[in-house]
């Protein structure tokens, strides 16, 4: 089955490349560019201008009905619930509501960068709806910012002829510090769980070895280093999960440095169901009263939307400087597309796991709930499964530094994390069985 899925995904990726190249060749160089207040919604050779206006909360917004029709879909009003609509593109329906920054796709609730709103009797959605959300839903949509075009490619019927099966990587690689080479073309298909299959969680203790991570707190007090706290909490989480019958694979069990781009392949080799990376947050020194920053937050892999999300991504990705052989170079276009498809496949599941973790931590954590966030975190890039990074607190805050370095509090946090992971696995298994 995996080989068939891999063949199909390769065909889709290649077709996207061909379609993109074909479109670039068939569009005349002298084609009229859209004016400053419109973008073009393009389906094949047909295009339609879509009004673009300023969003009340900043950024831009697109006229919803024109966007849907330009992509070969439609905007349908809900007759029973005023203010609610379904925007349909191909086989995908997205339920939107005036005044809401959340949308519903099937059974999943997803965030937008701003709310849906009405102006001049017309409904508008944030630009990110077309630039970010639709491309991730398997609609064949992509956004070209330079040309100000939203394009939709015709569906591709992929060949079902499977290539020769590849040998699976040995799970033993997960227990070594040998650099595991990621398979840059194959996408691991999600496995249907059964009650007979032991679930696998990969727990990643952030930093390690020469990379101390953050150190704190600000203003004095017992000194803590992130690498020690993350390892202690990860070991507590391992014990809590194993007590629930879950198999746990640790990316590190000692004070050693594991490369950011090696951690995901370790998880893939172990055939993990989820990947959870444990970290400690640090305040930006330029903040007003940085030592007072507190709270916990959980990240999944997506483009950072705020300055604070970009700060966390930059801070956690900085470990690359300690690696002598970090593979951070680009890849061929097909390899990039295949990795992107693998991560998008698990995007909504990662968001759901992050939400459950935040809900569980808030029952014991003394700091404020800073919410579910998204950023381009290198440690999550190569883990082809639902993957999150948990910031368990601010080590720069004296109170939270004391809290997260206390062994009893660490065990308490680990139990709540295990509760959330166990609940996620059970919910996902129910969805798969349905």
Among candidate residues 375, 362, 365, the one with its CA nearest the CA of residue 406: 365
Report mean pLDDT in 10-residue bins for the chain, 434 residues. 44 41 35 65 88 92 95 92 92 91 81 90 94 79 84 51 36 36 35 64 94 91 94 97 95 89 86 95 89 94 63 60 42 49 67 93 95 76 86 96 97 97 91 72
For residue 129, the model assigns a pLDDT of: 93
Q: How far apart are CA 114 and CA 309, in angstroms?
A: 17
Q: How far apart are CA 25 and CA 34, in angstroms?
A: 19
pTM over 0.75: no
Q: How far apart are CA 50 and CA 87, in angstroms?
A: 15
For residue 117, the model assigns a pLDDT of: 96
Measure CA of the first residue to CA of the last residue in the chain; give whole Å: 19
For residue 340, the model assigns a pLDDT of: 52
Q: What are the CA-CA distances from residue 338 to residues 139, 250, 292 (Å)?
A: 16, 26, 43
For residue 432, the model assigns a pLDDT of: 73
């Amino acid at each position: 089955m995996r080989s068939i899925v891999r063949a199909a995904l390769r065909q889709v990726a290649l077709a996207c490349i061909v379609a993109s190249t074909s479109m670039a060749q068939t569009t005349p160089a002298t084609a009229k560019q859209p004016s400053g207040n419109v973008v073009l919604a393009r389906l094949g050779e047909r295009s339609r201008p879509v009004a673009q206006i300023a969003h009340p909360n900043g950024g831009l917004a697109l006229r919803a009905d024109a966007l849907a029709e330009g992509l070969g879909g439609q905007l349908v009003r809900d007759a029973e619930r005023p203010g609610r609509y379904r925007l349909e593109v191909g086989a995908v329906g997205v339920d939107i509501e005036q005044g809401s920054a959340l949308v519903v796709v099937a059974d999943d609730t997803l965030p937008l960068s701003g709310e849906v709103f009405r102006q001049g009797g017309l409904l508008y959605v944030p630009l990110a709806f077309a630039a970010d959300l639709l491309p991730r839903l398997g609609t064949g949509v992509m956004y070209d910012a330079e040309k100000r075009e939203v394009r939709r490619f015709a569906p591709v019927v992929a060949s079902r002829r499977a290539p020769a099966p590849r040998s699976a990587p040995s799970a033993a690689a997960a227990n070594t510090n040998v650099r595991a080479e990621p398979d840059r073309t194959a996408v691991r298909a999600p496995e249907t769980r059964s009650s007979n299959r032991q679930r696998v969680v990969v727990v990643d203790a952030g930093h390690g070895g020469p990379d101390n991570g953050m150190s704190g707190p600000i203003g004095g007090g017992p000194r803590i280093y992130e690498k020690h706290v993350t390892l202690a909490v990860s070991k507590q989480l391992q014990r809590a999960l194993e007590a629930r019958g879950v198999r746990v694979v640790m990316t590190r069990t000692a004070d050693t440095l594991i490369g950011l781009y090696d951690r995901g392949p370790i998880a893939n080799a172990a055939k993990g169901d989820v990947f959870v990376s444990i970290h400690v947050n640090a305040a930006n020194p330029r903040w007003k009263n940085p030592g007072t920053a507190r709270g916990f937050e959980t990240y999944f892999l997506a483009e950072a939307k705020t300055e604070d999300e970009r700060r966390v991504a930059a801070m956690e990705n900085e470990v690359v400087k300690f690696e002598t052989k970090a593979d951070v170079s680009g890849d061929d276009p097909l390899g990039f597309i295949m990795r992107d498809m693998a991560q998008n496949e698990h995007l909504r599941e990662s968001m759901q796991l992050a939400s459950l973790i935040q809900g569980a931590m808030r029952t014991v954590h003394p700091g404020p709930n800073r919410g579910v966030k998204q950023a381009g975190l290198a440690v999550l890039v190569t883990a082809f499964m639902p993957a999150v990074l948990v910031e368990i607190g601010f080590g720069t805050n004296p109170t939270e530094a004391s809290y997260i370095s206390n062994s009893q509090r660490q065990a308490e946090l680990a139990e709540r994390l295990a509760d959330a992971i166990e609940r996620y696995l059970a919910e996902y298994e129910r969805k798969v069985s349905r």
